[in-house]
Amino acid sequence: MSQFSTLRVGGPAEAIVPVATVAELSRLMGWLQKNEIGWQVVGRGSNILVSDSGLAGVTIFLEGEFRTMEKVADAGEGAGEERALIRAGAACLLPGLVAYCTSQGLSGLEFAVGIPGSIGGAIVMNAGAWGSAIGPLVESVALMDDSGTLLTRKGESLEFSYRQAALPPRTILVEATLSLRPGDRDVIKKTCRQYQEKRRATQPIAEPSIGSFFKNPPGESAGRLIEKAGLKGFAVGDARVSALHANFFINEGSASAADMLNLMHHVQETVYGRFGVRLEPEVCIMGENQRKK
């Protein structure tokens, strides 16, 4: 799985199945359920840490029609302002969607310009940056359950909170409809450039990483706590706390998932010992104890 993760770590997947249409996905889910085979979906791989033992069962990758995006309609006024709806497949990449919305003169997603994930992963994790998050923009989602049945849910039913959404268990996000507001294209482009410049100045975007490793504790910054604990630049093997941003772990070449997990535990214990704060991973850790011995 290292080739499917921006962190470049992870053991073998037992089986990988690319799926290009909703009909294909429905048939696959029905077959997996009938044969009692486990599964997981992996998107852009920008927020996952797969164990060295890899992933059991079937790992599903969405492509084809799951990468399409379109302006559905002007939605009239919402919350006192004009809105427009954009429908995007779960496999659409956030930077591509930001570019599309910019071309349509639609504002609201500028904060996501440098986030290298997919729409599906962004909604599941309620991705955000610079004080904004995707949750409030979600008008509705289409989901598929593990029997292959399509479901529709309104955005407010997902109960978005910090870095999480309450999706029904064992469902796959198929597509989302986002509510955006009309804006000036030049202003939108300028805002995107400003966010990109901030990322380049403060984050190790040129090195293999998975973005912010820990959630920010209430009223605090995980990066600040890690830095105050003297852990900037600390390494376990080739897994290192970035010297540029302490809440980023980078792979300096040949780090294993075990190196990353050991680094995570060391940072957690050190910060807890110094400040009494238990850092919670933002990254999705996959594959631990999944494989049969």
- Residues recognised as catalytic: 163, 212, 282
Non-local CB neighbours of 169 within 8 Å, separated by 6+ positions: none
Strands (E), 54-137: 55-62, 69-78, 81-89, 106-107, 128-129, 132-133
> Alpha helices, DSSP H only, in the chain?
22-34, 94-103, 119-124, 185-202, 222-228, 257-275
Task: State the Cα–Cα distance between residues 144 and 135, nearest whole angstrom.
Answer: 19
Structure tokens given for 137 = 């923009």
- Output the CA–CA distances (angstroms, integers) from residue 61 to 4, 18, 64, 140, 281, in the order listed: 10, 5, 10, 22, 24
Structure tokens given for 51 = 């164990």
